[in-house]
């Protein structure tokens, strides 16, 4: 699965807060061993995490990446 999040200026405030919440909910529901990629876009595309098998360590890293979006 891939989560792709718009981080352009139009997503400021409540919109980005909702996107972050949705991303956290999605990867929290995934089972260990599932694969996930996290990508953001605005004027550029940034792969924050390439397709990775999810385990406890990756969940912590994803939470940090989402927080920084």
* pLDDT on residue 28: 84
pLDDT exceeds cutoff 90 at 34: yes
SS3 state at 34: coil
Mean pLDDT of 22-31: 89
Residue 1: both structure tokens together: 């699965």
* pLDDT on residue 6: 96
Assess contact for 38 and 17: CB atoms under 8 A. Answer: no
pLDDT in tens, 54-67: 988 888 888 899 99
Q: Does residue 55 or residue 50 have the better pLDDT? A: 50
């Amino acid at each position: 699965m891939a989560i792709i999040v718009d981080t352009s200026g139009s997503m400021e405030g409540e919109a980005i807060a909702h996107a972050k919440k949705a991303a956290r909910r999605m990867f929290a529901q995934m089972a260990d061993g599932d694969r996930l990629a996290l990508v953001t876009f605005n004027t550029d595309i940034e792969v924050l995490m390439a397709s990775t098998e999810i385990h406890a360590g990756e969940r912590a890293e994803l939470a940090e990446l989402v927080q920084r979006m």
